[in-house]
Amino acid sequence: MVDDEPIALEFCRSALARAGYIVVTAMNGDDALRRLQHSPPALALLDIVMPGMTGAALAKRIEKLLPNARIVLMSGYAPDEIKRVIGDDAAQYRCMWKPFQQDALLRMIRNVLDAPPSHKTQHAGS
């Protein structure tokens, strides 16, 4: 999980850990990339708007390193603003809008982990 807001980072980390997930956190994209080399995640939960590397840019980097990565983007900005930040690729990501409740976070994570790989992911590397 990557978020530059310590309160959001701790809220999500705590909720996911209580649900039994192993959670690795980072406060920026560079730190996240270093950490994922040691422990590739089953899912990356990324804040979209962060100083330095945005969540969208980080998602692209993760996808290059881990073609089967499952990614959920989150933001407190309006959906139209997020589409502007992400661009044409916005539709390929699952998104959560802050603030959200713990049960909504857990449902989203479970749904993404349980879903079959996307069409794009199935053809990666072929």
Q: Which of 45, 38, 41, 40 is nearest to 3 (CA)?
A: 45
Number of domains making up the chain: 1
Predicted confidence (pLDDT) per residue in 56-110, tens digit: 899 999 999 998 889 999 998 887 777 777 777 777 888 899 999 999 999 999 9
Q: What pTM does this model have?
A: 0.86
Mean pLDDT taken over the chain? 87
User: What pLDDT sits at residue 37?
Assistant: 85
CA distances from 64 to 55, 59, 68 (A): 14, 9, 9
Q: Assign residue 75 the CATH number of its domain.
A: 3.40.50.2300
User: What pLDDT sits at residue 15?
Assistant: 98
In 10 A of CB 26, how many CB atoms? Answer: 20
User: What pLDDT sits at residue 118?
Assistant: 64
Beta bridge partners of 46: 2, 73
Residue with tokens 């998602």: 59
3-state secondary structure at position 45: strand
Predicted confidence (pLDDT) per residue in 90-103, tens digit: 778 888 999 999 99
Q: Residue 48 falls within a domain, yes or no? A: yes
Domain range spanning residue 20?
Answer: 6-112
